Amino acid sequence: MKPTTTLRVARPSDNIGALLRFYRDGLGFQEIGSFSDHEGFDGIMLGVPGAAYHLELTHQRGHSVGRAPTRDHLLVFYLPDEAHWQAAIERMERHGFASVPSLNPYWDKSGVTFEDADGYRVVLQQTSWPPSSASIGGECVPKTHSPPPGGEPVDNSPRPRR
């Protein structure tokens, strides 16, 4: 992967209208594309102009997908500026979305979690990523990967036995 790669998180739903209110009205995403009855699928893409990510929410006509399998299916947005973070929380609340406790208490230390109509959760985390070394304090430390001199990175992942 390259730093210029764009990430699309695609997810099926039975509640595209409710999700539109959550992600567009509550979180402030913009509709960047949509389709209707494309080989039996309807969908909408939501994002932030200039960001290297967006969401695609789809519904396959005649099918039901149900709710999130657990309360720990998260999208985490790092908002290091406290005023921006607080404004994002207030926007969610103004649109009728109440915060919920996170399944993993780590996210409640510096963040606020909201649950969408399908049970998937969004954490608004008031910190930056990667975190500064002063804020790590035993928490997750991001890895840095460098290729060996003159070569590609080495994959030392365990391989399945034959």
pLDDT in tens, 45-60: 999 999 999 999 999 9
pLDDT above 90 coverage of the chain, percent: 77
Query: What's the first-to-final CA gap in the chain, in angstroms?
Result: 28
C-alpha 9 chain-centroid distance: 8
Mean pLDDT, rounded, of the chain: 87
* Comparison of pLDDT for 155 and 102, the residue scoring more: 102
Dihedral sign computed on CA atoms, order 39, 43, 49, 54? negative
* pLDDT for 159 beyond 50: no
Dihedral sign computed on CA atoms, order 58, 120, 124, 1? negative
* pLDDT for 91 beyond 60: yes
* Comparison of pLDDT for 145 and 66, the residue scoring more: 66
pLDDT for the residue numbered 130? 86
Q: Which domains does the chain have, with CATH numbers?
A: 1-63 (3.10.180.10), 67-136 (3.10.180.10)
Regarding beta strands 99-100 and 121-125, do their DSSP bridges make them parallel or antiparallel, or are they unpaired? unpaired
Collect all residues with Cβ–Cβ distance below 8 Å to 109 and sequence separation of at least 6. none
Output the pTM of the full model.
0.81
Per-residue pLDDT band at 131 (split at 50, 70, 90): confident
pLDDT for the residue numbered 142? 56
| Distance from C-alpha of 144 to C-alpha of 155, rounded to nearest angstrom | 14
pLDDT in tens, 7-47: 999 999 999 999 999 999 999 999 999 999 999 999 999 99
